[in-house]
Chain A
Amino acid sequence: QEQLVQSGAEVKKPGASVKVSCRASGYTFTSYDINWVRQATGQGLEWMGWMNPNSGDTDYAQKFQGRVTLTRNTSISTAYMELSSLISEDTAVYYCARGRWEPNFDLWGQGTLVTVSS
């Protein structure tokens, strides 16, 4: 079945970087966009960025410009989100989500908890 499987929870110190992976299976990875969305505890959903896995094109929310980098490895159907210069406010669950042309996010990863703490 179609699924997105994310890497496990991370604990990072302020100022560090984190890289979260999102492996796609059950569908053609390069045929659909991948988006990244985060959610702090008890808070709403925040869109971070978008990537076209076929071309590698990206677009980032202005809030994260310069701190977030989206990449992919098509040979293993995996997308990556790297966030740098972490602060405590970056503590959140990070989701990857497949984007459809309709448009909407029809397939989500299970989420990766990133905790930023000294």
Chain B
Amino acid sequence: EFVLTQSPRTLSLSPGERATLSCRASQSISSTFIAWYQQKPGQAPRVLIYGASNRATGIPNRFSGSGSGTNFTLTISRLEPEDFAVYYCQQFGSSPLYTFGQGTKLEIK
């Protein structure tokens, strides 16, 4: 079964700092099939990045995605107070059709 492993599980940083979140796939996948989501408490997730590096509509350019093969990264260049949330990576595949990572909680230090 396909697995996405996110690290770290919790990341403690201060506003203005740079955040680097990792998502590792159990097998190589096309970068086309990787997306990243942000979820704040009590809210539905929101797509940030699709196709590993494409920002979704309305997403600030401080969010960027990169990677290929089995290793993918979400970078937030300079943290704003509203960026502290939980982040999930997602892959589109064949079985199961979609898989989510277990999430990284980005908290204020």
Asked if residues A103 and B50 are in contact (CB atoms below 8 Å), the reply is yes
Shortest Cβ distance from residue A112 to the other chain B in the assembled complex, whole angstroms = 11
- Whole-angstrom distance from the CB of A53 to the nearest CB of chain B? 16
CB distance from B35 to the nearest CB of A (A): 4
When chains A and B are docked, how far (Å) is the Cα of A47 from the Cα of B98? Answer: 6
Residues 82 to 108 of chain B near chain A (Cβ within 8 Å): 88, 90, 92, 95-103
With A104-B56, A105-B47 as given contacts, are A35 and B88 in contact (CB-CB < 8 Å)?
A: no
List the B residue with the shortest CB-CB distance to A33: B97
Given known contacts A44-B102, A103-B33, A104-B90, A62 and B96 CB-to-CB distance under 8 angstroms: yes
Q: Mark A28-59, 1 if CB is under 8 A from B, else 0.
A: 00000001010000001111001000000001
Give CA–CA (A103, B52) in the complex, Å: 10
Contact status of A50 and B98, CB under 8 A, knowing A44-B103, A103-B50: yes
- A28 smallest CB distance to B (angstroms): 18
Question: Given A50-B98, A62-B96, are A108 and B44 neighbors across the interface (CB < 8 Å)?
Answer: yes
Interface size, A (range):
20 to 34
Contact partner, A104, options B35, B96, B102, Cβ 8 Å: B35
A contact patch SS: strand
B100 to A106, Cβ gap below 8 A?
Answer: no
B35: which of A35, A62, A95, A103 is its contact (CB, 8 Å)?
A103
For residue A16, CB closer than 8 A to chain B, the reply is no
Cβ-defined contact, A102 with B51, below 8 A: yes
**Do residues A50 and B103 form an inter-chain contact, with CB atoms below 8 A?**
no
B96–A61 CB distance below 8 A: yes
- What residues of A have a CB within 8 angstroms of the CB of B88 in the complex? 44-45
Q: Which residues of B contact A45 (CB under 8 A)?
A: 37, 39, 45, 88, 90, 100, 103
Q: Report whether A110 and B98 are in contact in the complex, using a CB–CB cutoff of 8 Å.
A: no
Cβ-defined contact, B99 with A47, below 8 A: yes
Query: Are A104 and B44 in touch, CB under 8 angstroms?
Result: no
Q: B7 contacts the other chain (Cβ, under 8 Å)?
A: no
Q: Is B68 an interface residue (CB 8 A)?
A: no
Q: B50, A104: Cβ atoms under 8 Å? A: yes
